Amino acid sequence: MNWSAEMGLGGMRILITRAADGNEDLSALVRRAGGVPVPFPTIRLVPPADCGPLDREIGRLSSFDWILFTSANAARFFLDRAARLGVVSWPASLRAASVGPGTTGELSSRGVAVHLTARKHTAEGLFAALRDEGIAGRRFLLPRAEEGREILPEAIRKEGGQVVPVVAYRNAPAEKDEETASEILADPPDVCTFASPSAFRNLFLLLGEESVREMLSKSRIAVIGEVTARAVRERDFRVDIMPETYTLKAMVDAIEASLADGR
């Protein structure tokens, strides 16, 4: 039987640990595939503790050639802050680059023209796309999470570009949903999904080390990309499912394929 085509997720319970204001898109994908989303946010996204550096860069957008967005959350927080400062249009000379379709969609829905979307939806993929456009001598603004990776800034600098990373948002532990916590500990979900390292780490803060280990021993673990996979493996867990393309849709497709294969 072709499980993927005929049954999709077949009523499987899929734990969703993304922030509450960003988990509906993944929940919708799970429902569309025939699964049952179990939202249990482990993170909440909040503005920087000090918005001064972000405000300063928003005030000098005309000094940059490119603005780079490596997540939809970075785009959302940057645009919200810009709007709050009264910056509703950007200099015509400023070009926007996006790491993938989700981020491009967030920007486009807010009226921002996206000039470049990476074919491979990672920092490495975005760098490769920028290199085709020319990096040496150009200035890049990189709004990102507080714990942003250094791989993209370092690669741009090595290529002769100037890059200014600035914190647009940060992760904080979510408030614990006691009812759902009891439910998932008593009856572990079929698949636990993690879209960021902090979503994985905060699960332990909310539920406790031993309880999480017991739960995850009875579930498959799905992650959206290599950075999150590394965080899972560093804690000595096995990554069961990871898509080749780092998008939410690809992760749900990979879960379906894994279940169909019986892996």
Q: Which tokens go with 164?
A: 């200014």
- Which pLDDT score is estimated for 263? 62
**Can you give the pLDDT at residue 51?**
97
Alpha carbons 1 and 103: distance in angstroms, whole number: 36
The answer for residues whose C-beta is within 8 angstroms of residue 96's C-beta and 6 or more apart is 66, 67, 68, 69, 90, 107, 112, 113, 114, 115, 116
| Burial category of 86 from C-beta neighbours within 10 Å (exposed 0-12, middle 13-18, buried 19 and up) | exposed
Instruction: Identify the band that residue 128 occupies on the pLDDT scale cut at 50, 70 and 90.
Output: very high
Which of the pair, 89 or 4, is modelled with greater confidence?
89
> Is the pLDDT confidence value at 2 over 60?
no
Question: Residue 112 is which amino acid?
Answer: V
Residues of the chain with pLDDT > 90, as a percent, come to 76
Per the prediction, the chain carries an average pLDDT of: 92
- Calpha distance 49→144 (Å, rounded): 14
Q: Which of 35-39, 148-152, 159-163, 237-241 has the lowest mean pLDDT?
A: 148-152
pLDDT of residue 150: 85
Band of residue 262 on the pLDDT scale cut at 50, 70, 90: low
Three-state SS annotation for the chain: CCHHHHHCCCCCEEEECCCHHHCHHHHHHHHHCCCEEEECCCEEEECCCCCHHHHHHHCCHHHCCEEEECCHHHHHHHHHHHHHCCCCCCCCCCEEEECCHHHHHHHHHCCCCCCEECCCCCHHHHHHHHHHHCCCCCEEEEEEECCCCCHHHHHHHHCCCEEEEEEEEEEEECCCCHHHHHHHHHCCCCEEEECCHHHHHHHHHHHCHHHHHHHHCCCEEEECCHHHHHHHHHCCCCCCECCCCCCHHHHHHHHHHHHHHCC
Higher pLDDT pick, 52 / 247 = 52
Is the pLDDT at 127 greater than 90? The verdict is yes
pLDDT digits (tens, 9 = 90+) for 143-162: 998 877 788 999 999 999 99
Tell me the C-alpha distance between 151 and 138, whole Å: 18
User: How far apart (Å, rounded) are the C-alpha atoms in residues 14 and 191?
Assistant: 5
Each residue of 107-123: pLDDT tens digit? 999 999 999 999 888 88
- pTM of the predicted structure, to 2 decimals: 0.77
Q: What pLDDT does residue 5 have?
A: 45
